[in-house]
Amino acid sequence: MSTKEKKIRVLIAKPGLDSHDRGAKIVARALRDAGMEVIYTGLRQTPEQIVETALQEDVDVVGLSILSGAHSTLFPRIMQLLKKKGMTDVMVFAGGIIPEEDVPALKKAGIKEVFGPGTPTSTLVEYVKNNVLK
């Protein structure tokens, strides 16, 4: 009866010490321009901080941006914490410099998709819209 007002809430996060935020900011802006509510964590976030933010903000999607090579350690940690907090309905995608050979393991850990350098923002927007789990 009442009109449901749902917006897609997205957390764009920079785990670890990587300080390259050009891409993360562009993605945040593009998702906002596509009508989503976006929270950007800023730099140097621990897995605990990212998951806590995702929890309190009840986000639908988490986008992880990393170019430092530390994804192999940090991403599985983040996915573990999300699982522990019962947040398996959050869709997690990643981007940055993540070698192809690492992608299968990340997907196995629960990352839905990994986007390489050069991915158009329109692709990301469509992907998020079509793959929100909630």
Task: Sketch the per residue contact string, 75 through 114, with another protein: x for CB under 8 A, - otherwise.
Answer: ----------xxx---------x-xxx-------------
Q: Are 43 and 21 in contact (CB under 8 A)?
A: yes
Q: How far is the CB of 29 from another protein (least distance, A)?
A: 6
Beta carbon nearer to another protein, 26 or 110: 26
Q: Are 62 and 13 in contact (CB under 8 A)?
A: yes
Q: Are 14 and 27 in contact (CB under 8 A)?
A: no
Q: How far is the CB of 74 from another protein (least distance, A)?
A: 5
Q: Are 71 and 115 in contact (CB under 8 A)?
A: no
Counting residues that bind another protein (by CB under 8 A) gives 61
Q: How far is the CB of 123 from another protein (least distance, A)?
A: 9
Q: Are 89 and 134 in contact (CB under 8 A)?
A: yes
Neighbouring C-beta atoms of residue 43, cutoff 10 Å: 16
Q: Which residues bind another protein (CB under 8 A)?
A: 1-7, 16-22, 25-26, 28-44, 46, 48-49, 52-53, 55-58, 68-70, 72-74, 85-87, 97, 99-101, 116-118, 120-122
